[in-house]
Amino acid sequence: MKKQPPFEFFPLATDTKPSVPMSDVPVHAGFPCPVDDAYMQQPIDLNKLLITHQAASYIVRVKGDSMIEEGIDEGDLLVVDRDLLPTEKTLSVCMFRGEFALKRIVQSEGRVSLMAGNKKYKPIELAEDEELKVFGVVRWVIKKKY
């Protein structure tokens, strides 16, 4: 049996400017090139993959260790989408007490709590009159490994 490789590799686009007009391609006389639009495959475009709502997305850098148990470390970049509603399954960037805070928002019995991803930090329960502004929801975590 043929062994599957441990990873699959995909071509990657590095330039996602608007496509070049076809008139730039020199026209050859003679045998036609079989590479036609219909057969062309587009390389993977990270912009398209990571950024769903382009105009509502922000890149945010992580500081500190409050989310290490969620696999998010200092220096990681987050793709934050403002066009998404937070749930208990999502991590949210909140505007809270004059700061940006990365939290999981949990609601139980009418109370709202903000959870960190590090046992060092206790959940913060919102006071009844306290305002919580959700800036956006984390879609992707970009981590530099090398």
User: Which positions are catalytic?
Assistant: 66, 103
Q: Is 51 in the site for another protein (CB under 8 A)?
A: no
Q: Which of 12, 13, 49, 59 binds another protein (CB under 8 A)?
A: 59
Which of the stretches 1-9, 38-46, 78-86, 104-112 binds another protein when contact is defined by CB under 8 A? 78-86
- Beta carbon of residue 56, minimum distance to another protein (angstroms, whole number): 4
Residue whose pair of structure tokens reads 């991803």 in the numeric block: 117
- Beta carbon of residue 128, minimum distance to another protein (angstroms, whole number): 19
Q: Is the dihedral of CA 84, 85, 87, 92 positive or negative?
A: positive
Q: Which of 63, 71, 107, 130 binds another protein (CB under 8 A)?
A: 63
Q: How many other C-beta atoms are found inside a 10 Å radius of the C-beta of residue 46?
A: 14
CB 43 within 8 A of CB 13: yes
Of 43 and 142, nearer to another protein (C-beta) is 142
CB 34 within 8 A of CB 64: no
Spatial distance between the Cα atoms of 96 and 98, rounded to a whole number of angstroms: 5
Which of the stretches 7-15, 19-27, 33-41, 59-67 binds another protein when contact is defined by CB under 8 A? 59-67
Of 6 and 98, nearer to another protein (C-beta) is 98
Q: Which of 43, 71, 83, 123 binds another protein (CB under 8 A)?
A: 83
DSSP state of 113: E
CB 122 within 8 A of CB 66: no
Backbone angles phi, psi at 50, to 5 degrees: -90, -25
Which residues lie near another protein (CB under 8 A)? 53-56, 58-64, 66, 77-78, 82-83, 93, 95-96, 98-102, 133, 135
